[in-house]
Amino acid sequence: MKTATLEHVHDEARQGEVFLIDQEKQAFSKHFYIESYGCAMNFADSEVIASLLMKEGYGPIAQPENAQLILLNTCSIRDKAEQTIRKRLMHLRHVKNHRSGVLIGILGCMAERLKEQLLEEEQLVDMVVGPDAYRTLPDLISAAQEGNKAVNVLLSREETYGDIAPIRLNSNGVSAFISIMRGCNNMCSFCVVPFTRGRERSRDLPSILSEARQLVDAGYKEVTLLGQNVDSYHWVEGPTATPITFAQLLAEVALISPKLRVRFSTSHPKDITEEVLQTMSRYPNICKYIHLPVQSGSNRILQLMNRTYTREWYLSKIARIREVMPDCGISTDIISGFCSETEEDHQQTLDLMLQSRYDLAYMYFYSERPGTLAERRYEDDVPEPEKKRRLQEIIDLHRIQSLESMQKDVNRTWEVLIEGNSKKSDAEWQGRTTHNKMVIFAKTPNTQKGDYVQIQITECTSGTLKGIQVGEKIA
C-alpha cells in the first residue's frame, strides 16, 4: 500500500481491504470489492460505502474475481485520472464475462461528471452513483440485479454521512481519516470538484468528536480531518448558537487525548486564519504541517484561476506561518501551463517557489476539464510539450528544495509516530515527524506500531529521513 499522502491525488488504484478474522469472513455469503482513486476524500468515502454495504450483508473481499459487486470509486480531476478508470474497466471485462450475476458500479466524481453518459460509453457498467447518493446503494443494487441500469447522481446540500461509522479500509491501525465537510463553494476556474462534489456543507461537531473518540478507543494515534477547504468549516447547533469555527473544531479534537496526533487537509490560502495558526501552536498534538496549494506564482494567472489572492498575499501567509511556528512543514500544489501562461508567468512560479521553500509539492500540468469556467472562457493554448517542459523545471527545482529541507533535519532529534514496517525491510520501522516527514530507523526491542519514539536524524534523501532511536519509547 502506498503511504497515504494526504493531498496527493492518486492516479493508481488502492484496493480496499478490511482485515477480518476467519469467523467474520464466513458470516458473509456475498462480497464486494472496492478500488479507490483520487484524493483522500474519496478514500474516506469508500470507508462509508463499506459500512453501508456490510449492513446489507456484503463482506469485503481483496480480489475482484470472487466478488458479486465490483466498485470503482473514481476521480475526474485530470483527464489522465479518467483514462486510468476506463483502462481498468477493460481489465475487469474478463471477471464480468466469466461469472454471471457480477455487477460493476462506478462511484464518485467520474460518475457525477458523466452521469448516464457513462452507461452509454461503457457497456460493462451497471450502476452509476454520485458522491451524495451512497445511501441509496441498496436500492440501486436491487434495481441492477433485476437487469435495470441504475443511476443516482443527485447532489445534496445536507448529506455529510455524519451518522455512519466508517469501516477502516487498508488500515495500519495507527492513522485514519475523518471527513469534516463535503463539497466546495470556491470556483477555481480550472477545477471540476465544485461540479462533482456540489455545495459545501459541514458535518456536525458531535459526530466528528465521537468518531475521533472511537478511533482513540480502538488504539489509533493519528487522525486527519478532511475537507476541500477545511478553513471554511462552519457548524451551528441551532438558531441561537454561535457557529463553531475550524480552529475550535481543531482544539476540540486535540483535547480528546494528548496522545492523538491531529492533522488536517486542505487549507485554502485565502481562508486560513490567525486563529487556526494560534490553535496549532497552542496544542503540541496538532501537527505542525500545512498544505497550502498556491497553483501559480503569477498574479495574472492567479486571477484567471479565480484563486482570489495575490502572490504577495500568499507569501505574507507563509511568512506568518513561519513566524508563529518556525519549524512548520509547508507543502503546496502547482499547475504548469494554465491558459495563456507565458514564460514570464512560469518564471514567477519558480521565483515564488524559491521564496516559499516548500518541504513538499504536488505538481501537475494543466488538464482542461469540461464544464469548468476555464474551459468555457479561456483557450487551452499552451502546447502540451511546453506544459511538460515547464512542469519538469518545477519538479527539478522542487527536488533541490526538498533535499535542502531534509538536510536541515540531519543531527536534529524528532518525535516519530511508528506507522509500521518500512517498505524495504521488516527490520526497520517507518513513521512520521509532526512536519509530515517520513523517517526510517532500525527496530529496537519493546517498540511497536503506534508507539512514539525519539529519533536522531543521521542522513537523508529528498524523500526520507534516516535515523537512530535515542532513549526509551515515550510512554
The binding site for ligand SF4 (CB under 6 A) comprises 184, 186, 188, 191, 193-194, 228-229, 268
In this structure, what C-alpha cell is assigned to residue 257? 487525548
Residue 333 as a binder of ligand SAH (CB under 6 A): the answer is yes
Within 13 Å, how many C-alpha atoms sit on residue 354's CB side?
7
In the complex, minimum distance from the CB of residue 38 to ligand F3S, in angstroms, rounded to a whole number = 3
Contacting ligand SAH within 190-209 (CB under 6 A): 190-191, 193
Closest CB to ligand F3S among residues 122, 327:
122
Closest CB to ligand SAH among residues 54, 294:
294
401 binding partner (options ligand SAH, ligand F3S, ligand SF4, none; Cβ < 5 to 8 Å by kind)? none
Question: Residues 84, 12: contact at Cβ < 8 Å?
Answer: yes
Q: How far apart are CA 205 and CA 213, in angstroms?
A: 12
**Which amino acid type is present at position 113?**
R
Closest CB to ligand SAH among residues 17, 393:
393
Residue 228 as a binder of ligand SAH (CB under 6 A): the answer is yes
In the complex, minimum distance from the CB of residue 122 to ligand SAH, in angstroms, rounded to a whole number = 22
Write out the chain in H/E/C secondary structure: CCCCCCCCCEEEEEECCCCCCHHHHHCCCEEEEEEEEECHHHHHHHHHHHHHHHHCCEEECCCHHHCCEEEEEECCCCHHHHHHHHHHHHHHHHHHHHCCCCEEEEEEHHHHHHCCHHHHHCCCCCEEECCCCHHHHHHHHHHHHCCCCEEECCCCCCCCCCCCCCCCCCCCCCEEEEECEECCCCCCCCCCHHHHHCCCEECCHHHHHHHHHHHHHCCCCEEEEECCCHHHCEECCCCCCCCEEHHHHHHHHHHHCCCCEEEEECCCCCCCCHHHHHHHHHCCCECCEEECCCECCCHHHHHHCCCCCCHHHHHHHHHHHHHHCCCCEEEEEEEECCCCCCHHHHHHHHHHHHHHCCCEEEEEECCCCCCCHHHHHCCCCCCHHHHHHHHHHHHHHHHHHHHHHHHCCCCCEEEEEEEEECCCCCCEEEEECCCCCEEEEECCCCCCCCCEEEEEEEEECCCEEEEEECCCCEC
Q: Which stretch binds ligand SAH (CB under 6 A): 144-152, 210-218, 309-317, 364-372?
A: 364-372
Q: Which stretch binds ligand SAH (CB under 6 A): 26-34, 114-122, 194-202, 360-368?
A: 360-368
In the complex, minimum distance from the CB of residue 387 to ligand SF4, in angstroms, rounded to a whole number = 18
Closest CB to ligand SAH among residues 293, 297:
293
Residue nearest ligand F3S (C-beta atom): 38
152 binding partner (options ligand SF4, ligand F3S, ligand SAH, none; Cβ < 5 to 8 Å by kind)? none
In the complex, minimum distance from the CB of residue 368 to ligand SAH, in angstroms, rounded to a whole number = 7
Instruction: Please identify which residue in 6, 9, 118, 417 interacts with ligand SAH, judged by CB under 6 A.
Output: 9
CA angle 323, 360, 291 (to 5 degrees): 60
Q: How far apart are CA 4 and CA 36, in angstroms?
A: 12
Question: Residues 459, 406: contact at Cβ < 8 Å?
Answer: no
Is the alpha carbon torsion for 191, 319, 255, 177 positive or negative? Answer: positive
Q: Which stretch binds ligand SAH (CB under 6 A): 109-117, 153-161, 185-193, 413-421?
A: 185-193
Closest CB to ligand SF4 among residues 229, 433:
229
42 binding partner (options ligand F3S, ligand SF4, ligand SAH, none; Cβ < 5 to 8 Å by kind)? ligand F3S
Tell me, by CB under 6 A, how many residues bind ligand SAH. 18
Query: Which residues of the chain form contacts with ligand F3S (CB under 6 A)?
Result: 9, 38-39, 41-42, 75-77, 108-109, 192-193, 196-197
In the complex, minimum distance from the CB of residue 78 to ligand F3S, in angstroms, rounded to a whole number = 9
172 binding partner (options ligand SAH, ligand F3S, ligand SF4, none; Cβ < 5 to 8 Å by kind)? none
Residue 335 as a binder of ligand SAH (CB under 6 A): the answer is yes
In the complex, minimum distance from the CB of residue 109 to ligand F3S, in angstroms, rounded to a whole number = 3
269 binding partner (options ligand SF4, ligand SAH, ligand F3S, none; Cβ < 5 to 8 Å by kind)? none
Closest CB to ligand SAH among residues 96, 263:
263
**x/- map, 64-93, ligand SAH, by CB under 6 A:** -------------xx---------------
In the complex, minimum distance from the CB of residue 437 to ligand SF4, in angstroms, rounded to a whole number = 24
Residues that bind ligand SAH (CB under 6 A): 9, 77-78, 190-191, 193, 228-229, 266, 268, 293, 295, 333, 335, 364, 366-367, 369
